[in-house]
A and B are shown apart, each in its own frame.
Chain A
Amino acid sequence: MCEPPGQPPLLYVDLHLVHEVTSPQAFDGLRAAGRRVRQPGRTLVTVDHNVPTTPGHLPITDPIAARQMEALRRNCQEFGLTLYDVDSPDQGIVHVIGPELGATQPGLTIVCGDSHTSTHGAFGALAFGVGTSEVEHVLATQCLPQQKPRTMEIRINGPLPEGVAAKDLVLGIIGSIGTDGATGHVVEYTGEAVRGLSMEGRMTVCNMSIEAGARAGMVAPDEVTFAYLRGRRFSPQGSAWDEAVARWSALRSEPGARYDKVIEIDAAKLAPFVTWGTNPGMVVPVTGRVPDPAAARTTAERSAAERALQYMALTAGTAIEQISVDRVFIGSCTNSRIEDLRAAARVARGHKVNPKVRAMVVPGSQAVRREAEGEGLHEIFRAAGFEWRDSGCSMCLGMNPDVLQPGERCASTSNRNFEGRQGRGGRTHLVSPMMAAAAAIEGHFTDIRKWRFQ
């Protein structure tokens, strides 16, 4: 927007997404300084992290969670913001509802007090997570001082093999460059495999950019993007639509554009992946084995791997397909959209969840839930023995009652396998929705490429 002398350039924020967990202290700051929200119309607010996923999001048994949600209601009222509350037909995970309402559009700058804001880059928007102080900054000024980031291209050559999902693609990238491989960079994903992804798949990939340390991830908009956005509530209509598409079509890197860093990956070498450790870079193909820490390149990596194996209660050399699971979670801002649920339902159809597994499907939003129910996906899941839940962040981070018990092992479609992430002492393995559904049925990890679809 402008470049004040002696300060970083000021970036204007076109869309500010707000949820209950990272905003209360920001609103307190506004109150203390007597400031108002500059652009209520560019501020989209929902509750997602804390909400129970039991039918109707009730009851809210945790008084501290209830107080946080109540604080958001009060703040929205006081500062004149529209809130997509638990009883709204538009409620959902903020990174699911932004795109589905058409609020997320190519070329916009989008921020949110949440690291997975990188999701919105799938539309060719510049979208990144910020902390609560910056939430306050954006509420008050609609701007953020920002240094220009470095750029990185991650090009995936060739088409994705059968049975390899967007989730596997991004897990493969993180496994290859590490959890800080893209720190300080904005990543552009390019190549045939990325072009071939649906918007849901592109969102899954951009979502996990942060797990490689990236400031943001993005995909240049194309016909797939425009087809997704056409007719959505906040999408441009009529002649404004045609003008927008013309403008958006220009949002692509020039041929031969120079990046600070370029990574190339051969799609043919990707497989369905399963994480074995306590960060998303600790990942192997489902046909692989738990790695031996002794093979690590550095002593620091070896001690991290030893510590991870101890936490995960795994032995080096164990075949991934021999690891059994107690819980399965299909959901989160990474994998809770309609296409994710369709993929999982296709696996579950005609099968039964293993009797020793508790499996849960949590749609990302009320709209996803309605769409899935319209297609009868909930009946397929229920007939197979999955719990069909209401929308929210749920067991991705376990701020609501959906948590792992100590020692429980979970196949999860979420984004982080950190220690305790899904519940104190819980053990998380990150996988695609198809791989999660198959693990629920078999009771252990299994190669989806050999699945008996019915």
Chain B
Amino acid sequence: MKAFRTHTGLVAPLDRANVDTDQIIPKEFLKRIERTGFGEFLFYDWRRKPDRTLDPDFVLNQPRYKGASILVADRNFGCGSSREHAPWALDDFGFRVIIAPSFADIFANNCVKNGLLTVVLLEAQVATLMKRAQEIEGYRLTVDLEKRQVRDDSGFSASFTMDDFNRRCLLEGLDDIGLTLQHQAEIAAYEAQRFGVV
């Protein structure tokens, strides 16, 4: 897994609640059997007009947000389908951090596995960041996982919580399958006891 320690980057505001994974990556792009190359399909239907040309009004198409690596969104981000293609698309597009008041469970899990950090802040804090990203050209944030802190250089600072294990996996870029496989003897013993097979 890709490690995450600290990151500073341009912030893009996506002022919508309940952004579902069908919007993050529509189903017609789930048929590919690779793990990479999903970035161009990120928010495909929102980024495009009905004739499929880019919609200049959509936030990620605006030149001032080009190269953004931190996305700020409203509550329940990533709801719906379990498709890991959603974090793959966000990652491939260049995002390293998503900040929102809440995330759907499966989506948040999938992000950890891909070194993509989901940061939960209070609604009021998210609203502040949303406003700053909309109003201040070139607005940047630093997200520090070691200190569990989000800060900008105009006085905003907020701390966030994160599950210790997930934090360690992200900081160290751990292979969690490898960790589980260290317990093969216990797994085999459990199977023998439950199913009577060795």
Q: Interface of A with B (CB < 8 Å)?
A: 1-2, 4, 6-8, 10, 12, 21-22, 24-25, 28-29, 33, 35, 38-39, 49-50, 62, 64-65, 67-68, 71, 113-115, 128-134, 136-137, 140-143, 145, 147, 179-180, 183-184, 210, 213, 215, 279, 300-301, 304, 307, 397-399, 406, 416, 418-421, 424-425
Contacts and interface: CB of A to CB of B under 8 A. Distances in A.
Contacts of B87: 131
24 contacts: A22-B83, A33-B177, A65-B31, A68-B32, A68-B33, A113-B84, A114-B82, A115-B81, A134-B110, A137-B177, A141-B177, A141-B181, A141-B184, A141-B187, A147-B163, A179-B18, A183-B102, A183-B104, A183-B105, A213-B76, A304-B16, A398-B28, A416-B80, A419-B23
Nearest to B184: A141
Interface in B43-59: 45, 50
Given A10-B186, A304-B17, 13 more contacts: A2-B186, A21-B31, A68-B31, A71-B33, A113-B84, A115-B80, A115-B106, A134-B109, A279-B18, A397-B81, A398-B27, A419-B23, A420-B23
A129 B17 CA distance: 22
B26 interface: yes
B23 A418 contact: yes
Interface class of chain A by DSSP: loop
Contact of B22 (A22, A147, A421): A421
A420 B84 contact: no
Interface in B181-197: 181-184, 186-187, 190-191, 194
B91 interface: no
A304 B20 CA distance: 13
A50 B180 CA distance: 32
Interface of B: 16-18, 20, 22-23, 26-28, 30-35, 45, 50, 74-76, 79-84, 87, 102, 104-106, 109-110, 113-114, 163-165, 168, 176-177, 179-184, 186-187, 190-191, 194
A184 B105 CA distance: 6
Contacts of B32: 64, 68
Contact of A1 (B75, B84, B109, B187): B187
Contacts of A12: 187, 190-191, 194
Contacts of B106: 115, 128-131
A183 B79 CA distance: 10
Contacts of A28: 33, 35
Contacts of B187: 1, 10, 12, 38, 141-143
A50 B31 contact: yes
Nearest to A70: B33
A142 B45 CA distance: 37
A21 B30 contact: yes
Contacts of B183: 2, 4, 10, 143
B179 to A, nearest CB: 7
Contacts of A179: 18, 76, 79
Contact of A143 (B17, B83, B180): B180
Given A113-B82, A215-B105, A418-B20, A10 B163 contact: no
A131 B109 contact: yes
A7 B179 contact: yes
A420 B22 contact: yes
A416 B113 contact: no
Contact of A22 (B34, B50, B84, B168): B84
A180 B75 contact: yes
